[in-house]
Amino acid sequence: MCNSINKKTNTSREDSQKLRTFLRSLPVCESSNTAKKLAEECKVPLYTFNNWRSGMTRMPELAKDKIEEVIGVKIFEREEF
């Protein structure tokens, strides 16, 4: 049970790190606009998106799919079943 929790926590941190890395790779003004657009497309307030980005809350799988769809780049790793 503990390993399962640790794995989810690590995955959540990794996802947040990947999102931050992508946004930091953009020019400053474009990064801000992209974050706003992603929040709108995911249908969440900007503060929720910022919580995902900072790692304070876990990003839902559907949000990851939407983020990758909007930016046109695969940044999150998925487990294959």
Among positive and negative, which fits the CA dihedral 40, 63, 13, 34? negative
**Which has the higher per-residue pLDDT, 5 or 70?**
70
Distance from C-alpha of 25 to C-alpha of 19, rounded to nearest angstrom: 10
Contact 58, 66 (CB under 8 A): no
End-to-end CA distance of the chain: 20
Residues 37/41/12/29 CA torsion (nearest 10 deg)? 0
Summarised one tens digit per residue, pLDDT across range 15-73 is 999 999 999 999 999 999 999 999 999 999 999 999 999 999 999 999 999 999 999 99
Summarised one tens digit per residue, pLDDT across range 8-17 is 567 889 999 9
